[in-house]
Amino acid sequence: MSGKSGHRAWGHIKKQRTKTASYQASFIGPDQRRHYAPHTFSARMNAEAWLVREKDLIESATRTGERWKPPSERVQERKAEVLLFGTYGKKVIDQRKLSPRTRIEYEAKWSALIEPTFGKVPVADMTPTAVRGWFSGLDQTKERRNSHAYGVLNMICNTAVKDGLLERNPCMITGAMNTKAKENVKIPTTAELHAIADKLGASENQGRFKALVVLAGWCGLRYGEVSELRRKDITPDCSVVTITRAVGHRGGECILGPTKTGETRSVTIPPHIRQDVKDHLASYVGKDSDALLFTPSRGGCHLNDRVFNKDVFQKAAKAVGREDLSAHDLRRFAGSKNAQVATLTENMARLGHKAVKASLLYQHSQSGRDAEIAADLSTQALRELGV
């Protein structure tokens, strides 16, 4: 009997004789009666998952001494108490293990874009048609935001399938979580980047931002990483910057944590900007090892990204004829310049992209290539600057 199709160590799965794939799952409960899933499953793996959850419930009841409830009884209880998607979705986000910054992003997308539409809809009534209607009604000019919101909804619906509340995930829009790369993005040239930095450096009030521009531009730091840099993160000879942390601000709250990928990286600073970093440390940074490299002029814990971009960077960029730039283009500049002198793996390592495998990162850090890349960047920059 043990070799017969459909028989397992625990529970039973039977493939139904239907045109489309359909599987019925059942098991013998503690009451020695056979209990069936409240619905059939379109995939065998979903039937397997249901049986695993049922076995866990039985074992939990045995450990705690609580009365075990058959699946049919629990279904009736759920019908008597309709579970709304608003209640369920919030609970899923609350229980999910997320970094503080990611949690704030999830909650923001939930409260602004998902809950207003689906909050009062029963979980069981979530359908592909409803999801398509919701997604098509979002502001199409905000593609990246919409993609993130769809990702949150997809995560919640996947959890509902695992919990046995939905037979299948209603999020079926192809490509909804993949945003298209922007076309014709114009990154600054080397001369323009240094012109912006020099413009800031010549200002009595904004001179401390010159080093921020060249560090972010030539080392590829994210804004949350560069604004959290401290004296201890720069080697005494200003040849290497180590990125271990990042900061963000949402709803007036300062969120300090690991980098976006959760990994630490050390990036060799190109020789042609090391003097700028040394001058900055001498003129603007406290002697304590924890002193921030870049402090806000109006108080607060860190430089505000929106304020820096609008009131500092974009004004300087406009002054050199590049009003189309934003502070985020500093990272694009880094990626573009790295690509001219480094391999894809080396470029991704400098930028801190998680796709780079740990073994490749180790080889990269031990081979000395990062120092060579930094030197090549300086050689190229000096040539482009006509120095």
Which residues, other chains included, contact 123 with Cβ-Cβ below 8 Å and sequence gap of 6+? 83, 84, 85, 88, 160, 165, 166
Same domain, 216 and 257: yes
pLDDT, tens digit, for every residue of 342-351?
Answer: 888 888 888 8
In a domain, 174, yes or no: no
In a domain, 252, yes or no: yes
pLDDT, position 207:
94
pLDDT, position 80:
57
In a domain, 107, yes or no: yes
Please state, in angstroms and rounded to a whole number, the distance separating the CA atoms of residues 17 and 279.
Answer: 77
Same domain, 43 and 156: no
pLDDT, position 48:
94
Instruction: Name the pLDDT band for 7 (thresholds 50, 70, 90).
Output: low
pLDDT, tens digit, for every residue of 75-94?
Answer: 877 665 688 999 999 999 99
Sign of CA dihedral 281, 287, 288, 289: positive
Strand, coil or helix: what is 358?
helix
Same domain, 147 and 220: no
In a domain, 36, yes or no: yes
Residue 244 has pLDDT above 80, yes or no: yes
Same domain, 233 and 351: yes
Host domain of residue 156: 103-162
Same domain, 375 and 334: yes
In a domain, 89, yes or no: no
Q: Which long-range contacts link 246-254 to residues 24+ away (Cβ below 8 Å)?
A: 246/101, 246/222, 247/301, 247/302, 248/101, 248/104, 248/224, 249/302, 249/304, 249/305, 250/101, 250/104, 250/105, 250/108, 251/104, 253/104, 254/301, 254/302
Identify the bridge partners of residue 122 per DSSP, sorted by sequence position.
Answer: 84
In a domain, 358, yes or no: yes
Same domain, 107 and 224: no
The catalytic residues are 222, 260, 328, 331, 353, 362
Segment 113-119 mean pLDDT: 97
CB 51 within 8 A of CB 10: yes
pLDDT, position 362:
32
Please state, in angstroms and rounded to a whole number, the distance separating the CA atoms of residues 368 and 366.
Answer: 6
pTM, two decimals, is 0.60
DSSP string, 250-293: ETTEEEEEE-TTS--EEEEPPGGGHHHHHHHHHHHS-SSTT-BS
Same domain, 204 and 307: yes
Segment 359-382 mean pLDDT: 66
Segment 64-75 mean pLDDT: 92
Same domain, 328 and 259: yes
Same domain, 235 and 313: yes
The CATH number assigned to the domain holding 279 equals 1.10.443.10
Residue 363 has pLDDT above 50, yes or no: no
CB 306 within 8 A of CB 248: no
Segment 242-247 mean pLDDT: 93
Strand ranges across the sheet with 12-15? 12-15, 23-28, 34-36
In a domain, 285, yes or no: yes
Please state, for a pLDDT cut of 90, what percent of the chain lies above it.
63
Q: Cα-flanking dihedrals φ and ψ of residue 176, to 5°? A: -65, -25
Please state, for a pLDDT cut of 70, what percent of the chain lies above it.
91
In a domain, 297, yes or no: yes
pLDDT, position 356:
44
Boundary (domain end) residue, out of 162, 182, 208: 162
Same domain, 226 and 337: yes
CB 375 within 8 A of CB 355: no
pLDDT, position 2:
41
Same domain, 115 and 48: no
Give me the number of domains the chain comprises: 3
Segment 214-236 mean pLDDT: 95
Same domain, 146 and 50: no
pLDDT, position 255:
80
